[in-house]
């Protein structure tokens, strides 16, 4: 991709632009595979009787970093290889459970075409519209 095209992309971005929203519905298999890949043996993520009866959760807890990964994917897909994710900040505020449908999305909050920098608000939301994992990100487009 030539420099002119890259500059064109960042120049088309405006504050208020929405990042595509995506639904996630992780099941027991995905939860197990994710925690296995991490080597995370925390039982609240795969042992449902333990999660319910010992820890008192309503189901298997979705691992916090998985929600963080979905924020990254939201930005990374939107960048489409034309820019890079330079910085992300987020926090897991509300627990989520296997069986819930969760949504990722975001909004452009600032755009500086002269430096190629774009600031974003990103979120993971649950079915009731609560933001469970809010975050901010900084993306950089080269060639500016």
Q: What is the DSSP letter of 116?
A: T
**Could you tell me whether strands 18-24 and 117-125 are parallel, antiparallel, or unpaired per DSSP bridges?**
unpaired
- In the complex, least distance from residue 9 CB atom to other proteins, rounded to whole angstroms: 18
Residue 34 is a binding residue for other proteins (CB under 8 A) = yes
Taking phi over 0 as left and psi of -120 to 50 as alpha, with beta for the rest, 123 belongs to beta
Residue 41 is a binding residue for other proteins (CB under 8 A) = yes
Binder to other proteins among 6, 17, 30, 57 (CB under 8 A)?
30
Binder to other proteins among 3, 89, 112, 130 (CB under 8 A)?
89
Phi/psi of residue 17, each to 5°? -60, 140
Give strand pairing partners of 138. 87, 119
Residue 115 is a binding residue for other proteins (CB under 8 A) = no
Binder to other proteins among 60, 92, 108, 116 (CB under 8 A)?
92
CB 3 within 8 A of CB 116: no
Contact residues toward other proteins (CB under 8 A) are 24, 26, 30, 33-34, 36-44, 47, 50, 54-55, 65-66, 68-70, 72-73, 76-77, 84-93
């Amino acid at each position: 991709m030539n420099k002119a095209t890259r500059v064109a992309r960042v120049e088309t971005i405006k504050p208020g632009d929405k990042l595509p929203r995506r639904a996630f519905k992780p099941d027991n298999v995905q939860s197990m595979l994710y925690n296995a890949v991490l080597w995370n043996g925390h039982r609240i993520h795969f042992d449902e009787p333990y999660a319910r009866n010992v820890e008192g959760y309503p189901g298997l807890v979705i691992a916090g970093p998985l929600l963080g990964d979905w924020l990254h994917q939201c930005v990374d897909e939107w960048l489409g290889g034309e820019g890079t994710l330079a910085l992300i900040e987020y926090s897991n505020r509300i627990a989520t459970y296997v069986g819930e449908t969760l949504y990722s999305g975001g909004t452009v909050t600032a755009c500086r075409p002269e430096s190629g920098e774009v600031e974003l608000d990103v979120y993971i939301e649950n079915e009731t519209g609560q933001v469970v994992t809010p975050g901010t990100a900084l993306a950089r487009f080269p060639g500016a």
